[in-house]
Amino acid sequence: MPRIAVAGAGIGGLAAALALAEVGCAVDVYERAGTLDAVGAGVQLSPNASLVLRRLGVLDELGPAAVESSEVLMRRARDGAVLARVPLGPAAAARYGAPFLSALRADLQAALLARVALRPAIALHLGRAVEGYEGSGRGVALRFADGAAAADGLVGADGIRSAVRRQMTGAGDASASTRSAFRASVPRAAADPDALVPRSNLWLGRGAHLVHYPVDGGRRVNVVAIVDEGAPTGGAETWSQPAEAAAVERRFAGWAPPARRLIAAAPDWRRWPLLDRPPLPRWSDGAVTLLGDAAHPMLPFLAQGAAQSIEDAAVLADAVARCGGDLPAAFRAYEGLRRPRTSRVQAQSAKQGRVYHLGPPASLARDIVLSTLGPARLAARVDWLYDAPAEVRRFAGTRTSAPAPTPT
């Protein structure tokens, strides 16, 4: 049984630990933080990810805390006109074999940890920051400030500022984009009925967009307001800072009343400068590989960063299960399958941000296209993303049920 070290106990690291344990590995998860506090309020889990979470038993743990979205409702910021409805709910669950869910990050983390606790093969080491590693052939020595540990392989799931990636590729941290996300969580009692409908809402305005969806079994609404700042946003020193409510309200002043009311109902805001980085040319070196944001950070406009890290976990475990104990071969195979997929999602996420923030006249053309496509063609346009690739399904034990894509 190979012993694999995972650096980082975020969504990606915990999913990887569970998936690797599932295929018979012993896993040591080393997490820098002394306690695990979920950051950021909500997370959308598209079917390509929920399929894997179901296989890992995490959906059972989440239970009704996760809200199933019935649709993505796209509206124009100025007047609230409905531009498009992408059907989700039972239609998406049948099409992709798994539901589209929204959850509090704290609930997802608790569900992952509950499954980790059931696995004697996984040891979680808190307050242990991986500083680097030696040897990447057969066997790796991990370095900490206060000692070392040995493993047969190392998975760097240590996030956007990954120490493992820095050592492996020499690549610097992801750079600041020109956008910020403002995040808030609105209690049910303060939210309009419009915001409590179990769906994913997307409002498109010039230089900004707004996303909101119910979480916590419908007891809260997660709100993410993304704005163009006009210049590169701050780096580490401004990460997840409190933000002034009046400034957010001013930025959305000209928007339709339901959007403005939801923004005004937010008790407090936090600002996240959004980071970006083009795909890495490689992310494995012998018995060391990367996963999640450490490998492929992406702008959040397709809501896929966590989902892709969960797909990574499934494909990594499947590759390890098939490698006959040759971890460098497994990690090469994993990277070979994952890099094209995640590079595409990175590129599409960036493009989506540009399309969302268009101003007139380009926004008028966009809105006409959106409102004439119709639900079936809109659904077909997201098949490439929500219909999990074969290598993810192999781990999840399901086959695709989406029809062949229709030309758009």
Give the residue numbers annotated as catalytic, written as ranges: 213
Least distance from C-beta 258 to ligand FAD, angstroms? 21
Stretch that binds ligand FAD, among 7-15, 63-71, 112-120, 279-287 (CB under 6 A): 7-15
Least distance from C-beta 36 to ligand FAD, angstroms? 7
Q: What are phi and psi of 115, to 5 degrees?
A: -70, -35
CA 251, CA 246: separation in Å to the nearest integer?
Answer: 9
Site membership for ligand FAD, residue 11 (CB under 6 A):
yes
Q: Tokens 């580490």: give the residue.
A: 236
Question: What are the tokens at 159?
Answer: 């996030």
Least distance from C-beta 321 to ligand FAD, angstroms? 21
Binding ligand FAD (rule: CB under 6 A), the pick from 86, 130, 151, 316 is 130
Nearer to ligand FAD, 13 or 99 (CB): 13
Least distance from C-beta 231 to ligand FAD, angstroms? 19
Binding ligand FAD (rule: CB under 6 A), the pick from 2, 99, 153, 159 is 159
Helix and strand element counts for the chain (H, E): 14, 20
Residue span 15-54 as binding mask against ligand FAD, x where in contact by CB under 6 A, dash where not: ---------------xxxx------x--xx----------
Least distance from C-beta 232 to ligand FAD, angstroms? 16
Neighbours of 266 (CB within 10 A): 23
Site membership for ligand FAD, residue 10 (CB under 6 A):
yes
Helix axes 89-96, 362-381, angle to 10 degrees: 60
Site for ligand FAD in 220-249 (CB under 6 A): 224
- Compute CA distances 19 → 124, 307, 313, whole Å: 15, 14, 6
Q: Is 122 exposed, middle or buried (0-12, 13-18, 19+ CB in 10 A)?
A: buried
Helix axes 11-22, 305-322, angle to 10 degrees: 20
Q: Which residues sit opposite 175 in a β-bridge?
A: 276
Nearest CA among 172, 168, 161 for reference residue 136: 168
Least distance from C-beta 149 to ligand FAD, angstroms? 12
Binding ligand FAD (rule: CB under 6 A), the pick from 114, 129, 245, 329 is 129
CA 68, CA 84: separation in Å to the nearest integer?
Answer: 19
Binding ligand FAD (rule: CB under 6 A), the pick from 154, 280, 307, 388 is 307
Q: State the number of binding residues for ligand FAD (CB under 6 A).
A: 35
Question: What are the tokens at 103?
Answer: 């959850």
Binding ligand FAD (rule: CB under 6 A), the pick from 47, 205, 305, 353 is 305
Site membership for ligand FAD, residue 9 (CB under 6 A):
yes
Nearer to ligand FAD, 12 or 97 (CB): 12
Binding ligand FAD (rule: CB under 6 A), the pick from 61, 107, 293, 311 is 293
Binding ligand FAD (rule: CB under 6 A), the pick from 133, 272, 334, 356 is 272
Binding ligand FAD (rule: CB under 6 A), the pick from 104, 142, 151, 181 is 181
CA 186, CA 292: separation in Å to the nearest integer?
Answer: 28
Least distance from C-beta 163 to ligand FAD, angstroms? 4
Q: Which residues of 277-315 are buried (b: 16+ CB within 10 A; e: fewer)?
A: bebbeebbbbbbbbbbbbbbbbbbbbbbbbbbbbbbbbb
Residue 254 DSSP class: T
Q: Residues interacting with ligand FAD, by CB under 6 A?
A: 7-13, 30-33, 40, 43-44, 129-130, 157-160, 163, 181, 183, 224, 272, 292-294, 300, 303-307, 309
